[in-house]
Amino acid sequence: MAVDLLEARDGGPDQAGFAPYAASEFNSLGRQYSEPPDKFRTLYQRDCDRIIHAAAFRSLEYKTQVMVNHADGSFRTRLTHSIEVAKLSRTLSRALRLNEDLSESIALAHDLGHTPFGHAGQDALDDCMKEYGGFEHNLQSLRVIDKLEHKYAEFRGLNLSFETREGVLKRCPKEIAKTLGPLGERFLKGGSPTLEAQLVDFADQIAYTNHDLDDGLRLGFLDLEEVRDLRLFSRAYDAACKASPKLSRHALLHEANRRMITAMMVDLILATGKRIEQARPDSPQAVRACTERLAGFSAELRAELASVTRLLHEKYYHHHQLAQATGQAVRVIRELFRVFMDRPQLLPTELCCRASEKKAIRGGAGQARVIADYIASLSDRHILAEHRKIFDVTK
């Protein structure tokens, strides 16, 4: 019996089932370096594959989300977070007839520029780079996909589609936006990214809010009674208790968590759908022209979510046990940055050469950027090992 293969693609539009405002190959602004289309994969499927094969993606496995390199492997890391965001983003896109593959590629790449040790690591590296143009993880994500992943013969970076790069770049100071061509325009003139990109931002928020509540409760940093004062959580928790009163605490928390995720997803889909209905965009360009974003929660959910975020900041992100780990993270990054600036020969050989080349062209700032790229690329485990190796020998 002949196998019924999917018909090879001719590179033509793949608009099947999409809303007119969905991004697609048909209306894509393309790649920086043009490439022939793939026989079986769409433009954005190919972006997803390139991201998954990137070294920066693999190192997310041992990068902190909130807990620093916890011995118990059941807490979230940047890798599991990125996968959760990708799954939520696909669901959102499918519900609104948008391009699921594009939302997945943006989600998979959205945290590639994160340093080791989470936000504490980013702040420490930014502080080290103060005189040299600073460091910001979101801009670094774009730098990783555009420049730092260097393994293809025909171009530097991953040569991802404009739409994936646009979605990854959430914030951008005007000075830098001016250097980015069409990618920087919306930060200079106003406007929005594609709906797929807008929804990934919310999928990110849904993922971290829920997994941080879950991790915080399991660690005992958050108190269940306090969390039950939050309407968004208590509705989900009470419904779970009512449906299954005999469940263990562990299972009840999971039941509450999944109900809360569903409530946020449904609210986001319905509220976004309403705004799309009012604005009636007929293309991704029309979405981009909107100065107000079309994706978003309802006003009620936004207010409830604000209380959850407040509690997470007060009781989890600034918990004294996390602060200890944060202190160590800051010290490790500062010491390594300083030692590499003073003695670049301690860098891996290839980077040492690169640092001296860049120093010859751009002075200290050039050398500092190579060091920041290196430090940012390390996982929590790798940077601790690197620090031990250098400071145990040089003591």
Smaller CB distance to Mg ion: residue 69 or 82? 82
Closer of 146 and 201 to Mg ion (Cβ): 201
For Mg ion, the closer of residues 48 and 355 by Cβ is: 48
CB of 225 to Mg ion, least distance (A): 29
Q: Retrieve residue 44's tokens.
A: 């954005």
Task: Report how far residue 111's alpha carbon sits from residue 60's, in angstroms, rounded to the nearest whole number.
Answer: 8
Contact string (CB under 5 A) for Mg ion, positions 358-387, x = contact: ------------------------------
In the stretch 224-253, what mask flags binding to Mg ion with x, by CB under 5 A?
------------------------------
Site for Mg ion in 76-115 (CB under 5 A): 111
CB of 216 to Mg ion, least distance (A): 17
Shortest Å distance, C-beta 205 to Mg ion: 9
In the bound state with Mg ion, the residue whose beta carbon lies nearer, of 88 and 375, is 88
212 binds Mg ion (CB under 5 A): no
Count the site residues for Mg ion by CB under 5 A: 2
Looking at beta carbons only, is 207 or 287 nearer to Mg ion? 207
Interactions with Mg ion, residue window 168-207 (CB under 5 A): 204
- Give me the residue whose beta carbon is nearest to Mg ion: 204
Tokens of 34: 């043009």
Whether the CB-CB separation of 48 and 101 falls below 8 Å is answered with: yes
Closer to Mg ion by CB, 101 or 111: give it.
111
Least distance from C-beta 207 to Mg ion, angstroms?
A: 7
Phi/psi for 139 (5° steps) reads -65, -35
Quote the CA–CA distance of 360 and 115 in Å, as a whole number.
Answer: 26
91 neighbors 188 (Cβ within 8 angstroms): no
Q: What character string, x for contact with Mg ion (CB under 5 A) and - otherwise, covers 109-148?
A: --x-------------------------------------
Which of 139, 59, 89, 24 has its CA nearest to residue 381? 59
Q: Which two tokens stand for residue 35?
A: 């490439």
Choose between 106 and 336: whose C-beta lies nearer to Mg ion: 106
By CB under 5 A, the residues from 16 to 55 that bind Mg ion are: none
Question: What is the C-alpha separation between 230 and 264, in angstroms, rounded?
Answer: 14
Question: Which residue in 87, 81, 145 sits closest to 113, CA to CA?
Answer: 145
Q: Residue 183 Cβ, how far from Mg ion at the closest point, in Å? A: 20
Min dist CB 312 to Mg ion, Å, is: 14
Amino acid at 77: T
**CA distance linking residue 320 with residue 132, whole number of Å:** 32
- CA dihedral of 245, 248, 253, 259, whole degrees rounded to 10: -40
Q: Which of 371, 375, 377 is nearest to 344 (CA)?
A: 371
3-state secondary structure 94-105: HHCCCCHHHHHH
Q: Which residues sit at the interface with Mg ion, rule CB under 5 A?
A: 111, 204
